[in-house]
Amino acid sequence: MILYNGHKFSTGSEAMANEVYVAGVGMTKFGKSDRSLSEMMVEAATKAFRDARVRSIDYMLIGVMNAEEFTGESNVAAMIADQLGLSGVPSSRVETASSTGSAVFEAGFYAIASGYHRNVLIIAGEKMTHLPTARTTKILAEVIERRERSYGASMPALAAMITQRYQYEAGLSAERLQSVLAKVAIKNHYNGSLNPYAQFRKLISESDYLNSKWVATPLRTYDCAPITDGAVAVVLTSDRRLVKISGLGHATDTLAVRHRDSLTSFRSTRLAAYQAYTMAKVNPQDVSFAEVHDAFTMFEIIGTEDLGFFPAKEGWMAVEEGITSIKGKLPINPSGGLKARGHPVGASGLAQIAEVVWQLRGEVEPARQVSGARIGLTQNIGGLANNNLVVILERTDRYRAIPVYWKPQFDPGKTEPRETFDSEPEVNTGTVETFTTLYTTPEGVPSPLHLAFVRTDLGQMILTRSHEGGLTIGQKVQLEKEGEYLYIRPIASPGTVTEGIKQWLRGSLPFPRRKEENP
Amino acid sequence: MILYNGHKFSTGSEAMANEVYVAGVGMTKFGKSDRSLSEMMVEAATKAFRDARVRSIDYMLIGVMNAEEFTGESNVAAMIADQLGLSGVPSSRVETASSTGSAVFEAGFYAIASGYHRNVLIIAGEKMTHLPTARTTKILAEVIERRERSYGASMPALAAMITQRYQYEAGLSAERLQSVLAKVAIKNHYNGSLNPYAQFRKLISESDYLNSKWVATPLRTYDCAPITDGAVAVVLTSDRRLVKISGLGHATDTLAVRHRDSLTSFRSTRLAAYQAYTMAKVNPQDVSFAEVHDAFTMFEIIGTEDLGFFPAKEGWMAVEEGITSIKGKLPINPSGGLKARGHPVGASGLAQIAEVVWQLRGEVEPARQVSGARIGLTQNIGGLANNNLVVILERTDRYRAIPVYWKPQFDPGKTEPRETFDSEPEVNTGTVETFTTLYTTPEGVPSPLHLAFVRTDLGQMILTRSHEGGLTIGQKVQLEKEGEYLYIRPIASPGTVTEGIKQWLRGSLPFPRRKEENP
């Protein structure tokens, strides 16, 4: 019914938008904090305001993912304005799950580009560490589509299944996958060790990695970003400054992972990147360095592929070859990333932007300064990659020649969602697409939990549970309904659709087609 | 530290912003619904899209106040995009408590004014009726400043104390106040009876009003907007249409009611109105009709004063004289307002805008059509009036002559917050500023609850409890600490500060000055 024109630029007769610059940046140290959300936000805002040297703030935007459940606060936009002594100044809260930090930045960009505001204060933060881990995991899992959530799937569980599938599609052995993921973690911890704002400042070795606990196979503790408190603030202005916002992209994807065409590439990143590159008239090879959303080590690798830095299923090679290291050709996550800097969910996107600003200004510690940084990019994932943003920032002190007939050399690939159907499966056999064993389960779900995405023999993708681990991708399985869940059981030969089970499956739900069959 | 320049317009050398028009509007019937938040939002969006006749949607914005606690959903922006078959389209959620519906509209306005988007779909909704009333009251009370909330103050309790104070300042008898408030309720129910989207479509009489239960004295059930489910959608476009957004204002105020200069006028409305009038080059007398945030009947009266329609403390006379009736000189809430149309908190601001669009297009039922409507205004309150927005919409089919030297004839009055201090009171006597007896208390608070704002003899405003009702404004009281609360007890003569009680009061908290006294 509703069409989407695939890119964000209307080519009508609009007025020319204002340019938007970063005037100031401020940040709290990330980690476990005894302070409240508003205290952290006030600290970050005060630092950013001091850095910005602007005379006034016309508008404020607050990014927080879930203050309601993490801290019991509502009405946060007005609260923060009040705490800053800015009551009077208009203030709105913006939220897009874990990409909130970028989405609130985007809203600030439009407010200035519109010409209605000159200086906009953007603050993003989250307070998470005071709750038990199982409770935090449950709150974070509320971003997951209801049916997948009902099976006990948490963010790490879904990320683990994506990782398992990547291993299969890239043709990696289990050992090589572990070695690659370890290298991402080691690199980001190394960068984090140089960043005074980072939650983790200790170096880790491959054996530390291999000795860390399984969260959800094949992901270990060191593959997952930690639970973190922190806040970041940025002042945007229409007055010319050193760093300019040159590109901005934002795209959603299906809420359910099972509705996607690919498990190992994120359409929302590709679409957002396409928009950002086109707006900035920049190609992937022009980017000096990037902050990529590494909530899970594998997501950094997938991110670098979806952003067009490396071909699909080859991002892992760039890690092995050190290309993404701080002294490599394309440093990824010089800040330490979500992995080492920490991941206060609503703040991470803005922390990525803060790092890019500092890098472009040449203000970070020498050991992690990207030399000659001119164009920096951030990629921020919302939910399980269904609300992603890409931001491109650029130094304005040198002229950049843009060819008159500039064209993007970036191909976003297939950007239409898969045709999906969500009725109860009409066949009781299928093939394992990917799987995991989840150890750190959400509040109320028994551990360990074996989960698998299965493609039924009629082509439908479903999430299932299994009583046993030891599954393999491509394995034939039988589906059995137990209580409210579908369970899988390995079968030696392709199964047949027994009419009895089919009817029993149908009988357990108000299946639309039944009406026609039995009017 | 941070200055606020008092208005939203930078007068620099920015490019001219794009004009923004309303292309389409859609709404669900408001009331108690069995459908989910996303189903209601999809219905509203589908209607708006059909009305809008645009070819594509570039950007989506979702307004919902607290899906997290009302429905257990997070990641709503991506969820709604997916449910609409719009996955791919960028989608962000905006929230400012009960003014969310206007704040999300504001964000859409900037997105188009910036020139980066052509057609923006804005959806606002809330799902509330499925929870017990005490639970809903508790969730809604989370917008209140923590200390005031800890005393058991709910939104109706604070509104009641504001009403009590208004009665005192306007010099009304209790009977006359009741009669005025009844007239607001009767008027809005009458308008609602003509509105097919309204939750309440029945007429009420003064005796119905007087027989309705006390919620918090002097407010009865019929003074309070109901708990409602509903959703509204608007499509904004940069292409010329009949209705244009000509003014937009947004301002915050202190979170705590006790920090304000006045209890009976909302600075956030006055500041927002000033911005909107200035941007639209419109004065209050140019407005044909308005939708004013009547979450409580008294708020409609205060709103019409703060918007400059009537002088301070005279808005009640306009009600008595029928000026604000549907056939009066300045119809207020022709839709039935929050009172009769219903108040799904995150949606109400956008429902006000939808009504104004329909009125300006001449599309509402003849009996409630404002004749010759040319300029309509909405005023939307966030929290206890600490994040308010004013929107002015205008027909574009006739030329409006604006004098070259147009100046606002609207005076926003004092717009700086009061100097406040929040330490434990250093004196145990004070005067009652206003009071209420709350019958419908939040979950976990015993009923009835007697509350009073007291100005201590040292000039500090504090919220207190009382064991007894029957308080009067101006009454001298003694403060006594019981457990974690301050209680008041009437005294005949002005109290003296007994040194013992003073020290005991100080001893019960980490009082900063103690350090200096006893280093």
- Give the pLDDT confidence of B54-90 residue by residue, as tens digits: 999 999 999 999 999 999 999 999 999 999 999 999 9
B-chain residues within 8 Å CB-CB of A57? 2-4
Question: Which of A75, A93, A253, A259 to mutate to test binding with chain B, by most B CBs within 10 Å of its CB?
Answer: A75
pTM (two decimals) = 0.92
Instruction: Please report the pLDDT score of residue A404 as a whole number.
Output: 81
For residue B251, list chain A residues with Cβ-Cβ distance below 8 A: 88-90
Crossing angle (nearest 10°) for helices B267-280 and B297-306: 50
Q: How far is CA B307 from CA B266, B269, B272, in A?
A: 10, 7, 9
Q: How far is C-alpha B352 from the geometric centre of its chain's CA atoms?
A: 12
Q: What is the mean pLDDT of residues B222-237?
A: 98
In the predicted model, is pLDDT for residue B346 greater than 80?
yes
pLDDT band (50, 70, 90) for residue A101:
very high
pLDDT at B517 over 90: no
Kindly state the percentage of chain B with pLDDT values over 90.
83
The two beta strands, A91-95 and A59-63, are: parallel
Contact A200, A342 (CB under 8 A): yes
Q: Tokens at residue B193, please?
A: 């009876």
Q: Is the pLDDT of residue A229 over 60?
A: yes
| Yes or no, beta carbons of B88 and A3 under 8 Å apart | no
Residue-level pLDDT at B422: 77
Q: Which residue of A has its CA nearest to B259?
A: A82
Q: In sequence order, what are the residues at sequence separation of 6 or more whose Cβ sits closer than 8 angstroms to the Cβ of residue A198? A: A30, A192, A335, A336, A340, A341, A342
Look at residue B5 in the predicted model and tell me its pLDDT. 38
Strand partners, B456: B430
Q: Which helix (H) or strand (E) holds A111?
A: helix A100-113
Report the amino acid identity of residue B223: D
Report the SS3 class of residue B224: strand
Core vs surface per residue B277-304: b (16+ CB within 10 A) or e: bbbbbbebebbbbbbbbbbbbbbbbbbb
Note the pLDDT of residue A419. 66
Question: In whole angstroms, what is the distance from residue B500 CA to residue B479 CA?
Answer: 13
How does residue B401 score in pLDDT terms, banded at 50, 70 and 90?
confident
Torsion of CA B78, B82, B87, B90, to 10 degrees: -30
- For B9-47, letters b (16+ CB in 10 Å) and e give ebeeebbebbbbbbbbbbbbbbbebeebbbbbbbbbbeb
pLDDT at B493: 56
- The alpha carbon dihedral of B486, B488, B494, B499 has a sign of negative
Across the A/B interface, how many CB contacts are shorter than 8 Å? 312
Under DSSP, the state recorded for A406 is -
Q: Are strands B485-490 and B476-482 parallel, antiparallel or unpaired?
A: antiparallel
The interaxial angle of helices A155-170 and A174-193, nearest 10 deg, is 120
Question: Which chain A residues have a beta carbon less than 8 Å from that of B59?
Answer: 8, 250
With an 8 Å Cβ cutoff, is A150 touching chain B? no
**If you average pLDDT over every residue of chain A, what do you get?**
91
How confident is the model over B498-514, as a mean pLDDT? 47
Reply yes or no on whether the pLDDT at B203 is more than 90: yes
CA-based nearest residue to A228, from A368, A346, A321? A346
pLDDT digits (tens, 9 = 90+) for B459-476: 899 999 999 999 999 999
- 10 Å CB burial of residue B427 (0-12, 13-18, 19+) is middle
Task: Please report residues of B whose CB lies closer than 8 A to that of A59.
Answer: 8, 250
Q: Kindly calculate the radius of gyration of chain A based on its CA atoms and give it in whole angstroms.
A: 23
For residue B230, what are the contacts with CB-CB under 8 A and spacing of at least 6? B27, B28, B29, B30, B31, B33, B40, B125, B126, B199, B342, B344, B347, B351
Cβ atoms of A57 and A89 closer than 8 Å: yes
Q: What is the pLDDT of residue B503?
A: 55
Q: Report the pLDDT averaged over residues B390-400.
A: 92
- The span from the CA of B29 to the CA of B347, in Å, is 12
Pick among A3, A20, A92, A245 to test the B interface (most B CBs inside 10 A): A92
Tens digit of each residue's pLDDT (9 = 90 or more) over B425-460: 888 999 999 999 999 888 889 999 999 999 999 889
Residues in chain A within 8 Å Cβ distance of B9? 116
Average pLDDT over residues B220-233: 98
Per-residue pLDDT, B177? 98
Partners of residue B5 in chain A, C-beta under 8 Å = 55-56, 58
Q: pLDDT value at position A416?
A: 77
Alpha-carbon gap: A183 to the closest alpha carbon of chain B (Å): 31
Task: Tell how far CA B363 is from the center of its chain.
Answer: 26
Quick one: what percent of chain B has pLDDT higher than 70? 91
**Amino acid of residue A204:** I
Q: What is the pLDDT of residue A134?
A: 87
> pLDDT-based confidence at B242, cuts 50/70/90?
very high
pLDDT band per the 50, 70, 90 thresholds, residue A398: confident
Q: Is A239 on the interface with B (CB under 8 A)?
A: yes
Mean pLDDT of A191-207: 97
Which of B 84-103 lie inside 8 A of A, CB atoms?
84-97, 103
Name residues 416-455 of chain A within 8 A of B (Cβ).
416-417
Among A3, A14, A84, A100, the strongest candidate for a mutation testing the B interface, having the largest count of B CBs within 10 A, is A14
pLDDT of residue A407: 87
Q: What is the DSSP letter of B257?
A: G
Question: Is B115 near chain A, with CB under 8 Å?
Answer: yes
**pLDDT value at residue A3:** 36
- The tens digit of pLDDT for each residue in A28-62 reads 999 999 999 999 999 999 999 999 999 999 999 99
Helices A297-306 and A174-193 meet at what angle, rounded to 10?
90
Given this model, what pLDDT does residue A512 score?
A: 36
Q: Which two tokens stand for residue B293?
A: 């945030």
- B79, A255 Cβ separation under 8 angstroms: yes
Residue B218 backbone dihedrals phi, psi, to 5 degrees: -95, 30
Kindly state the average pLDDT of the residues A369-394: 97
Beta strands A375-380 and A59-63 are unpaired
Find the range with the poorest average confidence among A13-22, A445-454, B116-125, B407-416: A13-22
- Amino acid symbol at A271: L
Residues B79, B92 contacting (CB under 8 angstroms): no
Q: CB–CB of A249/A274 below 8 Å?
A: yes
Residues B8, A95: C-beta atoms closer than 8 Å: no
Q: What pLDDT score was predicted for residue B509? A: 41
- Token pair for residue B290? 């308005």
Beta strands in B279-370 (DSSP E): 289-292
Q: What is the mean pLDDT of chain B?
A: 91
Structure confidence at residue A414 as a pLDDT band (50, 70, 90): confident
Say if residue B512's pLDDT is above 60.
Answer: no
Distance in angstroms (rounded) separating the CA atoms of residues B100 and B61? 11
Average the pLDDT over B508-516 and give the result.
38
Please report the pLDDT score of residue A422 as a whole number.
Answer: 77
Number of Cβ atoms within 10 Å of the Cβ of B468: 11
The residue behind tokens 């140089």 is: A194
ipTM surpassing 0.85: yes
Q: Which of B292, B341, B347, B293 is nearest to B123 (CA)?
A: B347
Alpha helix ranges (H) inside A171-234: 174-193, 206-211
- pLDDT, position A60: 98
Is pLDDT above 50 for B9? no
Residues of A in contact with B14 (CB under 8 A): 18, 115, 118, 238
Q: What is the 3-state secondary structure (H, E, C) of A316-379?
A: HHHHHCCCCCCCCCCCECCCCHHHHHCCCCCCHHHHHHHHHHHHHHCCCCHHHCCCCCCEEEEE
Contact in structure between A98 and A143 (CB atoms under 8 Å): yes
